[in-house]
Amino acid sequence: MTNHFSYRSALSTSIRGLLARTVKKSKPKSEIPGSQNANITDTRYQIIKRILYETPKPELPKMTEQDLEKHETIDRAWKLFLRNQQEERENELAAKYRMLNEANLELEKLGSRLFNSAQIGNKIMMFPRQMKIPTETPPLNGWNYDYKPPSSDPTKPLSSDPTKPLPSDPIKDSEPLPSDSNKVSS
């Protein structure tokens, strides 16, 4: 059974490109904007000129005294609202930092092994692809409860869908521990 739609795909892409180029579809010179033979009577030029040069300059709104008072009150209330929000955020961060600092100072007191291993960072900081910022509305499928950890056998495929992003490890060790003398052989 001959397929009527197959004649197109019988040609390779290179041959098709060649054919397309031989059949030129160029615009007439009068239509190309900016060329010397351009048609000046084209209405689009008038529209563009009007928008560029003749749009009215935005002026300050003319408000009565009462209106202005209202506007200024609203403005002050808004600024206060933003200031309060900012303060709340700052206080939360300050409290978190205080806890972090205290924890690390206490850890230092315990001795060098745990503290030193805690202070290492990765040379190349990588965040998991699954870490997403909040959106306007939630995903249609909701939370994925059917997560399975990857199998330890590297020859087996990780999951039924190989295009899924790999689960993240608890931080890859990019640098060795600085004091190997404290390390107890397991």
Indicate the residue type of 122: N
Nearer to other proteins, 19 or 171 (CB): 171
Give the residue, chosen from 35, 104, 174, 179, that forms a contact with other proteins under the rule CB under 8 A.
Answer: 104
Indicate the residue type of 116: N
29 part of the interface to other proteins, by CB under 8 A: no
143 part of the interface to other proteins, by CB under 8 A: yes
- Is the alpha carbon torsion for 61, 66, 70, 73 positive or negative? positive
State in angstroms the smallest separation of the CB of 28 from other proteins. Answer: 19
Specify whether the backbone of 34 is left (phi greater than 0), alpha (psi in -120 to 50) or beta: left
95 part of the interface to other proteins, by CB under 8 A: yes
Taking CA 119 as the corner, what is the angle to CA 122 and CA 124, rounded to the nearest 5 degrees?
10
Residues 6+ apart with CB under 8 A from 179: 112, 113, 116
C-alpha span between 73 and 81 (Å, rounded): 12
Residues 34-53 that bind other proteins (CB under 8 A): 47-48, 50-51
* 165: Cα separation from own chain's centroid: 17
State in angstroms the smallest separation of the CB of 168 from other proteins. Answer: 5
88 part of the interface to other proteins, by CB under 8 A: yes
120 part of the interface to other proteins, by CB under 8 A: yes
Q: Could you give the C-alpha distances from 168 to 24, 79, 149, 151, in angstroms and in order?
A: 53, 42, 10, 13
State in angstroms the smallest separation of the CB of 31 from other proteins. Answer: 15
162 part of the interface to other proteins, by CB under 8 A: no
Residues of this chain that bind other proteins (CB under 8 A):
47-48, 50-51, 55-56, 58-59, 61, 74, 77-78, 81, 88, 92, 95-96, 98-100, 102-104, 106-107, 109-111, 114, 117-121, 128, 130-131, 134-140, 142-149, 167-168, 170-171, 183-184, 186
